[in-house]
Amino acid sequence: MTDAAGLVSIGVAATLGPDAIAEVARAAEEAGFHALWVNDTPGGDALAGLAAAARATERLGLATGVLPVDRRPADAISREVRELALPEDRLVLGIGAGAVRRGALALVRDAARVLRAETAARLVVGALGPRMRELAASDADGPLLSWLPPAIAAGQAAEARARGARVALYVRTALDADGAARRDREADRYGGYPAYAANFARLGISPRDTVLPLPGDDTIAPGLAAYRAAVDEVVLRAIPAVDDPAAYVAFVRGAAPALGA
C-alpha cells in the first residue's frame, strides 16, 4: 500500500540523548510529521531515545535507522524493546549489517527472522546494493534507502514495491547556510567510505546530488516533493548548524511548511 505523496518524517542521532530526543519528538508530532527516526551510533542508544520519545508523544511513529546487528544481536534488540516497553504498534525496527562485509546477507537474514518472531514491530533493512534490497523486500517489510537522488530512488522503490514492500529513504537536509556546510562535509565524508564510494561510482552520482535542498533549489520544498513521489516515506535527516535540542526543534518547525508544498 502506498500514498499518493509519501509520508515525511524526521531523523536525528541517538547521541543527542533521551531528553533532547523527547523534545524533538514533541515538536515533530505537533508539526505533523509521521515519525521520528533515531540513528543508532556508538555512544548513542536509539532504542533508549525512542523510549523517551514514546513517553513524550501519543501517535508519532518511532523508528531506528539502523541497529547494526554485528554489535547488537537480534535477541538483545527484542529484549530491550520489551524492557523499555516500547509501543510496538508505533515501532519500526531498522537493522543493518554494520561493519560486517563477509556474510552480511546471512547475518541480516537471521536477525530479521528472530525479530519477526519476537516482536510485532515493522521491520526494515538498511540497504545499498541490489542483494540487500532484495532481502529487505523478501525477509522484512522493505528497505531503508540512503544517499540517492529522486530518479534513482524511484527506480529502486519500484523494484521493492513490486514485491509488496514499503520503501523509506533517508535524505540529509539543511535549512540554512551553516547547516548546509555541515551537510556537505558529511556528504564528502561518506563519499570517501569504500562501500559508499563504490555505490556512488556504480550509480554515476555524487553524494551532494542526494541532499536537500537539491542542487539549484532555494528551499527544500521542490526536492521534497520529488522524493515524496518516489518513495513511501522520506526521512529528513536533520543537519542544523549546531547539535543542541533548540536547533533541532527549530529545524522541525522550519521544515514543516514544506509538508504542504
CATH of the domain at 38: 3.20.20.30
pLDDT at 101: 82
* Residue 2 in domain: no
Torsion of CA 8, 13, 18, 22, to 10 degrees: -20
Q: Which domain holds residue 233?
A: 7-260
* Residue 252 in domain: yes
* Residue 255 in domain: yes
How many domains would you assign to the chain? 1
* Residue 203 in domain: yes
Buried-state track 57-93, b at ≥16 Cβ within 10 A, e below 16: beebbbbbbbbbbeebebeebbebbeebebbeebbbb
Cα distance between residue 143 and residue 102, in whole Å: 20
| Residue numbers of the chain with a pLDDT score lower than 50 | 1-3
* Residue 1 in domain: no
E runs forming strands in the chain: 7-13, 35-39, 61-64, 67-68, 91-96, 122-126, 143-146, 168-173, 233-238
pTM confidence score: 0.96
pLDDT at 2: 40
* Residue 47 in domain: yes
* Residue 209 in domain: yes
pLDDT at 139: 98
